[in-house]
Amino acid sequence: MTQPVVESIDIYGIGPDGEKVSWSSFLGPMYEAMIVVELTFDNGLVGVAGSTVYTEHEFDRSVVESASLMAPFLLGKGLFDIPKIYAECMSRYVPLKNVATSLFDIAMHDAKGKLLNLPIYKMLGQAQSRVRAYASSPLLEDNQQYIEYCHQMLAQGFNAIKIHPRCVFQEDYSLVKVLQEEFADQDIGWSLDVDANYNRQQALRMGRLLDKYEWDFFEEPLSDTDFEGYRYLSENLDIDIVAGGNAVPNLQLINQALQRGSWDRVRFDFTTIGGFTNGGRVMALSQAYGLKAEVQSWGYTLTQAANLHMMLSNANCEYFEQAAPYEKYEVGAKQVFRPDSEGFINPTELPGLGVELDWDVLDPLVYFHRRFSR
């Protein structure tokens, strides 16, 4: 059978004009770029993928340039050669190649799913039919705003919430107590993400408070690379300790952390870890250690879709992270993901990623476009 080959590649940097949020008082408003790649094959098939990139001051140009440096290696490649293509991309001298390779790997899987008329999670092997969502908060001004936010999210169908506090220890400690008192009579899956802004002593104190309240997990109390600090927390706290998942998008480094007992759950984003090809290896590694995978899926709909498909194809994923309010992240997507009446996210059941883009909406927001052809 003659396989389809990549005929042309389009790379887009898209700058949506929604409200700019942050997740720490030490960061400015984030310019959240939607990076999209489209692979067009010689039979007319189109595979698409998207990554959400967070920068201060202006929209990203590093990832679009990285993808542009990688794109020529994809031209003429066959759709059934995804593992070989992944290996070749990762062998190239391209900055940020883990992100660029992820985009192309996901787009190849999207095209393959469309060719087979299967959603990617079914193509990979279905393990779940839906995933419980948590509302992932932006940075807010004070305790009252966090209380109001949580009430709003519960009213929208969420039954789990992750708090991004101000990341100032004493303020955060007070906030956790206030939330616990306000919602003491409700069964909520709580988690806290402090963006690596604590020292070990502060992280231990906060962890003990979260243990007392039986919160689900404590994310990024320290820098991702502080394996020994994480091991210390994991050994001295009951709550699951989780890294941020951004600083070590590397299978070997993740394995080293797990060998040390640093993390209680593995955290990463399929749009930066190497797409489905390498992401599947990390999932297998986490399962070998008997750990849950706390997948990062903050971002635009294409980012959410890629992570959702891998979650559905593995049994050890408990939560889907949904940045909320979620409307700004739905821009240009004809299909979106929102919690059902029980607080779960369901796939669209369309083939591939299951998301179609509305270019009438996105075209005015494009700040970078480059095309490569054979």
- Residue 2 has what pLDDT? 87
Q: Do the bridges between strand 131-136 and strand 344-345 make them parallel or antiparallel, or are there none, so unpaired? A: antiparallel
What pLDDT digit, counting tens, does each position of 19-76 carry? 999 999 999 999 999 999 999 999 999 999 999 999 999 999 999 999 999 999 999 9
Q: Which residues of the chain have pLDDT under 50?
A: none
- Residue 221 has what pLDDT? 98
Structure tokens at 188: 């909520």
196 contact partners, CB below 8 Å, separation of at least 6: 220, 221, 222, 223, 224, 244
* Phi and psi at residue 353, to the nearest 5°: -70, -20
Task: Look at residues 32, 77, 84, 92 and name the one whose alpha carbon lies nearest to residue 271.
Answer: 32
- Residue 308 has what pLDDT? 98
> CA torsion, points 157, 160, 164, 170, in degrees to nearest 10?
130
Q: Which long-range contacts (CB under 8 A, 24 or more apart) does 234-237 make?
A: 234/261, 234/262, 234/263, 234/264, 235/261, 236/204, 236/207, 237/204, 237/207, 237/208, 237/210, 237/211
Reading phi first (left if > 0) and then psi (alpha if -120 to 50, else beta), residue 156 is in alpha
- Residue 1 has what pLDDT? 62
Is this structure's pTM higher than 0.95?
yes
